[in-house]
Structure 1
Amino acid sequence: MMRKERLIVPLVVGLALLWGIAQYLSGVLFERELARALDDLAARGELAVKRSDVDRGWLESRGTLHLTPRFGQAWHLELPYMARHGVISTRIDGELRPHFGPGDQRLFGDALPSTPPTWQARYRTLGATLEGHLELAPFIVSQAGRELDFRGGRITFGGVYGDWRLQARLAPWRLSDGPVTLEAGPTTLESRYAYTEGAYHFSQQDLLKVERLGWHQPDLELEAHGLVLHSRTVLDEQELRVESELTLDRLVTAEQVLLAGRVALELSRVNADALRSVLAVLRDEAARGDAAQDGRELLARLEPQLLAMLQDSPRLDIHAIALDSPMLGLDARGDGALFFDSRRLEELSLAALGDPDEQASEQARWRARLYGDLTWHQVPKVVALWLGLPLDTQDLEVDVVRGRVRINGRPLPPALERLQ
């Protein structure tokens, strides 16, 4: 019996020691991964991220996350949380507290007489994975004759460091202002964000689907069905690229299809190093508390880096335009590209674009940097007639040279020429 007791006591002590070490490591790993994720989120440049009221413990940790735009005071997102650490996983419970406006008014509690929505997540220590969800309860808010009827939704998120996913599903909602009404939904969003440390390289893919979008007023009713936006943003060693495709199943008015089709675009050749330098300046300004400084002062400081983003001659590719209007009896099939001439960038000024005395001349200098071409295949006869072209014109060749547009080698009609 004594031998058994001698074996049991060390075993119990050893197990307790292992449990304590595992418990401690679980909390340490959770804090490390949370700090890394927040640092990389801040490195994107769009948001300022910080934590307050942090209390780290073996069994529990708590704190509050704050997300705000780098500049301006349009909104502020507060996320208080409590993390309960286990040996193999950590459970996180928190609230979503949006604030808006310069007065930092609370959405839930001030604007809406309801409690903030709650969110839950679980961090698995061994796989370093996080899975969570947020439930959005329905609510109705009325103010000065306007009403927002939100019918709830669900947001799920998860992933590992360097690869995060988000899915949002919102029930239909309605915004009304007297006889004018905007309705949307159901709406779904699927997003994936993958990145390297410090967001030096990243890629983001988003798929937004809106089943129905309606605008109603006494003299006009528009209803869009099957609205889908697919975008992909990539920052690599050399450039930032943004690919987007918008698809519309149909836009209906007066019980007829006004428009249907798709448009696919790609922006490329935005200099990556210059973009990173812009984000670095923004982070420094926000860290010093200069977010409220005059916008013109900030633009003057950023102008060299912003112009440097154009040094590789950014290109906008119009991969496809495929639009039909049964109501008007027109269709459009086209493709093309636009380029920006990046030579002698020192001759351009972003600040002058906002100066009333220099605005017109500076806009002309920027337009003169545009070159490109666009082809409208099988152009409708009514369009050819309107442009003063022969009725047997098959394709419309649009050329842009130093910002001036010519169609099939001819100048624009006088009514359009005056707009250049």
Structure 2
Amino acid sequence: MDDIPANTRRYTKRQAGDLIASSLDAVVRDPLGGARAKKRKTSTPTPRTSTPALEAILSRSSTHKPPASSATAPTNYDPSSLPALLARLSTYRLSTFSPSKPSSLSSLNCALHGWIHTPSSRERIQCTTCAQGLVLLPPSNGESWSSPTGDRLRLEYERLALAPTGHGHAENCPWRMRPCVRGLYRLAGGGLGVQSGGRRRFLETVGRQARELSERGLDAVTLELPREAAALVESEEGRARLVKAVQAVQAGAGAAPAVGVRTDEAASLDATAILLAVFGWALSTTPSPSTLSRSDSTSSLSSLRSLSTSSTSSSSPILACSFCVRHILATPYLPSPAGTATTTTSTTTPSSTPRPFDPVKQHQPFCPFVDAHAGHSPPVAAPLSAGAGAGSGAGAGAKGASVLKPGWQTKELLSYVRGLLGPKGTPRGGAASVRVGTTSAGRSA
């Protein structure tokens, strides 16, 4: 009984000694084996865990690449296309994009830099190429843009939206490097100090648009011209000369038909319709309720209400400017709603006294028919009012001064009228009746 525990204790000591000796032997023989194995164990899982992470990073970066790669050769980047610029400009709505912003953040300047307006959210613009978006909110707490806060906000918006930096665009968006040139947004010829061929084309366009306006009864609109414009074209002599010039160009453009037909064509022209066309207004072919605008809120509500009652009918003509994309319902300015359509006049609402139409103030401030510097770099020393005042007294002076005139200043156009009609003195006899007195003059010219 005593031998067994003794033998067991002896065997256990021996076994323990053998185990210690064998482990020391292994360490002495291969001191780096354990570390190597441990390193192998720790190094093999590392690539396995990092590879999916790298793949995730690569896949995430590849999702950001498509807009950038599409911007390298975009199909919608057209900085030299005026129709594309006007299409971008037509997306801006007065109800969702405030016109009280500084001129550097106007809808025109944003459109020149590739931005369109998304009317679904107020004051938001989006690039047509890189699809990046910005929100140009006004200063908070009732502060104006001229306040220090508004000035800092304007500088920040200019840094994001405009060309020298353009950080709001994607990094390789072409609009960031090269926006539209300002000279793209300019009237093509016509009374702005260009060659006479441009003025003749302008008068041909004016005659065509005036005939369309007269056919819809818009020659019955009472015009309210500003003082500078009234001094040029509201006088009977100025109106008669303008009508004669348009009739002369219309008679000379293309093959002249029979004498009776040409007289009938000339008789269809009216001074009011011609003045509307001279000031940039034409008949809208695609009326859109969202683009209708008015000077005051009450008239805009009434115009939208009258438009909804005759939604698709053509009984309510709409005046439109193709440059500032302003659309105005002409019904409040016409003597009677039945003047344009004689069908079902018994149930027509009673006609109110028509309001005068101001063909200058209804344009947007940046429109070339209003802004003398549209299509040019902003003025450095001479303000706009000084240029407008000099235009009425200086006549057709230096070419540089005549270029910087608003489109409605028809001083240059009237000088072209004198060139067409010869020495003045003939229009005074037909001043009382513009249509009748200009037919023979148009033929002699």
**When the two structures are superposed, what TM-score results if normalisation uses the length of structure 1?**
0.24
If asked which structure has higher relative contact order (CA below 8 Å, sep 6+), I would say 2
Give the number of the structure whose alpha-carbon radius of gyration is greater.
Answer: 2
Q: Which has the higher strand share?
A: 1
